[in-house]
Amino acid sequence: MNFYKDDAGMPLVNAMLRYKYENVYPLHTPGHKGGRGMERLLRQELGGGAAMDVSLMSELDDIHEPVSYIKEAQALAAQTYGSDACFWAVNGTSQAIHAMLMTALQPGERLLLPRNAHRSVAGGLILGGIEAVYLQPEFNAAFGLQMQVTPEAVERALVKDKEIKAVLLTTPNYYGVAARTAEIAAVCHAHGAVLLVDEAHGPHLGFSDLLPPSALQSGADACAQSTHKILGAMTQCSMLHVQGERLDLQRAADVMSVLTTTSPNYLLMASLDAARTQVQAYGRQMAETAVAAAQKLRRLCAAHAGLRVLEEADCGG
């Protein structure tokens, strides 16, 4: 039975629904046994979702060595975003960033990164034994906000330090400002460095010309996305995308496996499957609606509150 009729499909969601409606009495973890052993109020609020909180089992595939539903769903995500491989992260984009750094760099190698990088990057540096070389982003004094690092600054740093093996960008940053990623990718590759992107706030990019191009479209070698921050996945659901020949896909898979729990939550993975399906089918429409809402809010701010809001010209293009 296929519970979802859209051509995009949701392989893992459908597999979980089949298992649920087979009315299996679970002699396996989790201990709440499909909600039967759960505290009454929580069971009532979760409803049928508790029956879909299942454990790692062959019937539903294994995220550590996917061969069926998870493999198919991750391949669909890679196809949707244009990467060579997609790896689901059920411990947030922090896990994806740790894996991205440890895939690209060996212990003792150098990473060029902006001073305002997320705290998870510091964790990745520690876990991977990676040496940091810091770069200061541009600053907009009128708004008191940090903007982006520039291609010129990246090139100067790479010329100065020939030992830098990878560059990390945070784009869009926490104020919605995107970097000139394609230019920076060209600079990195010209100097033999790989480009890694913390795209936590950008899983919606690439689906409409009204928005900046995505990291992958701009030539990044890998990007980590928070599917839960912008799209419809549940909290702590993220994706790691890798493309091109500069990074080893098998190493990425191995590192992700090391960093992933052996008890991955299938509800989280199902929400990744569903969020990918939704953005694949409706991404352009969703982006257009969001941009229209933002433009309306800008007009209201200017007309009724006398507020000046950040414009493209304020962001260095």
Amino acid letter at 70?
Answer: I
Three-class DSSP category at 254: helix
Span 245-283, pLDDT tens digits: 999 999 999 999 999 999 999 999 999 999 999 999 999
Token code pair at residue 219: 């030539």
Amino acid letter at 188?
Answer: C
Q: Are 147 and 173 in contact (CB under 8 A)?
A: yes
Averaged pLDDT of the chain: 94
Distance CA 215, CA 148 (A): 14
pLDDT at 317 over 70: no
Distance CA 224, CA 94 (A): 9
Average pLDDT over residues 168-172: 97
Q: How confident is the model at residue 55 (pLDDT cuts 50, 70, 90)?
A: confident
**In angstroms, what CA-CA distances link 34 with 46, 53, 200?**
11, 7, 32
Per-residue b or e along 227-242, where b marks 16 or more CB atoms closer than 10 Å to that residue's CB: bbbbbbbbebbbbbbb
Kind of pairing, strands 164-170 and 145-146?
unpaired
Q: Is 133 left (phi over 0), alpha (psi -120 to 50) or beta?
A: beta
> Where is 20: in which H helix or E strand?
helix 11-21
Token code pair at residue 187: 């600079």
Question: Hey, what domains does the chain have and what are their CATH numbers?
Answer: 62-270 (3.40.640.10)
Average pLDDT over residues 81-87: 98
Sign (positive/negative) of CA torsion 221, 114, 94, 274?
negative
Span 122-147, pLDDT tens digits: 999 999 999 999 999 999 999 999 99
